[in-house]
Amino acid sequence: MATDGKYTDYFVDKTEPLLSVDKYYKPLVAKDENYATLLLVRLILLEPGTFQTHPDCGVGLVSKFRYATDVDMVELQKRIKDQIMLYLPQYSLVNVKCELGDNKTGDEKVIKIYITSEQLNVFLPINVETGEVLETTKLSDFR
């Protein structure tokens, strides 16, 4: 499409259909901040080598940081930031903070990841032995 000599034939879809439906059986769709959160969570949980066309894509949280210590949290923060810069450059202005352990329960197998920017705030507590996200977002939040 050409308008006034400028081409505007591109469109970036910032929605992601989920594999669930609402109470009216309409598909749930992640939009805006929820879409960004979903992309970031997928990148963090993705193991490198999953996609043959991009073998380095993914943080590899379980395989690389299963036996992490406080010293490894700086490396994890850097790895998450590098992955975002490379594969999700539209979110490159985020701040990443990682903490090992849960002060409330005393569980040392938990890594808490905080990703913040002006547009979004993501808190992701993950059990590093299983890769399980300990607190999940309710699907009703994706309206």
Residue 23 β-bridge partners: none
DSSP readout, 17-41? EEEEE-TTSPEEEEEHHHHHHHHHH
- Say which range, 2-11, 38-47, 91-100, 105-114, has the weakest mean pLDDT: 2-11
Measure the CA dihedral 31/141/47/76, to 10°.
100
How do the residues of the chain divide into helix, strand and coil, expressed in percent and rounded to 5?
30, 25, 45
The band of 1, judged by pLDDT with boundaries at 50, 70 and 90, is very low
Residue 21 β-bridge partners: 27
Note the pTM of the prediction, 2 decimals.
Answer: 0.76
* pLDDT value of residue 3: 53
- pLDDT of 35 higher than 90: no
Domains of the chain in sequence order: 28-136 (3.10.450.40)
